[in-house]
Amino acid sequence: METQGQSISSMVDQSLVTQLIEMGFSKNVSEKSIFLTQAKSVEPAMDWISEHQGDPDFEEELQIIQGLTPSSMTSEEAQARARDLQLKLKQDREKKDKELELQREKDRIRTNKELSEAKAKFEEQERKRAIDEQMRQKKKVQNELKDQQEILRREKEERFGKKFSVNEEEKPPEERINGALKAIKTLHPNYRNPGVAKTCMITLRAYTSNILKNPEEAKFRSIKADNKAFQDRVAKVTGGINYLKAVRIELLRSQEG
Task: Give the sign of the dihedral formed by CA 181, CA 187, CA 189, CA 194.
Answer: negative
Q: Which of 228, 222, 209 is nearest to 252 (CA)?
A: 222
pLDDT at 1: 46
pLDDT tens, residue by residue, 113-139: 999 999 999 999 998 998 888 888 878
**Integer Cα distance of 228 and 213 in angstroms:** 25
In angstroms, how far is CA 90 from the centroid of its own chain?
A: 40
pLDDT tens, residue by residue, 18-30: 999 999 899 988 8
The residue ranges of DSSP E strands in the chain, in sequence order, are 5-7, 63-65, 222-224, 250-252
Q: What is residue 56's DSSP assignment?
A: T
Mean pLDDT value across residues 55-62:
82
Mean pLDDT value across residues 152-175:
68
User: Which of 59-63, 89-93, 129-133 has maximum average pLDDT?
Assistant: 129-133
Is 168-257 a CATH 1.20.58 domain? yes
The length of the chain in residues reads 257
Would you kindly state where each structural domain of the chain is located, as residue ranges? Answer: 5-104, 168-257
Per-residue buried b or exposed e for 171-205, using 16+ beta carbons within 10 Å of the residue's own CB: beeeebbebbbebbbbbbeeeebeebbebbbebbe
Q: Say which CATH architecture domain 5-104 belongs to.
A: Orthogonal Bundle (1.10)
Asked, colleague to colleague, whether 5-104 and 168-257 share their fold, the answer is no
pLDDT tens, residue by residue, 167-203: 555 567 788 888 889 988 888 888 888 999 999 999 9
